[in-house]
Amino acid sequence: GQGVIDLVASYDYVEGIGIDDPFEYPEFTQISNYIDDFLVNYPNETDFWEILNKNLVTELLTEPIPTEFGFDYQLGEVLDSLTVDMGVQSGSGDVFIPRSSIVTGTLVATSVPEPGMVIGLSGITLLGILRRKTLTQK
């Protein structure tokens, strides 16, 4: 289906990033390009926006992100956490209520060689329903 979203990716860097090498900071347009490609090629158009958002955060933290510089970013190595706030505009997916999904992913150390991940669904907002309830309470 068709959808129009406003997407904000916020990340908290690991302590000490960039002290010895300022190029440790990932260049944001490479991440933006990766997100665009993820959304355009997302395989399951019937997933809820919250599931898509969770999958996006998971992929950003665990998959290599190709760059035009000839190497891949590994965001899980330079971020403590990543939050994606996805505002879904009215009419997206034939639902005429604006809504949003906020997902935060945090890598955690585990006893296995690969780092574990905690993904938290921080909030889902149904703006249209909240507005309607406010109007009817008057």
pLDDT digits (tens, 9 = 90+) for 97-136: 999 999 999 887 655 555 555 555 444 443 433 333 333 3
Q: Identify how many contiguous H helices and E strands the chain contains and give both numbers.
A: 4, 6
pTM score, whole prediction: 0.79
Q: How many domains does the chain have?
A: 1
pLDDT tens per residue across span 63-101: 999 999 999 999 999 999 999 999 999 988 788 899 999
Q: Which two tokens stand for residue 36?
A: 């665009």
Domain of 102, in residue numbers: 5-136
Extract long-range pairs of 12-19: CB within 8 Å, 24+ residues apart: 12/79, 12/80, 12/81, 12/82, 13/78, 13/79, 13/80, 14/77, 14/78, 14/79, 14/80, 15/80, 17/78
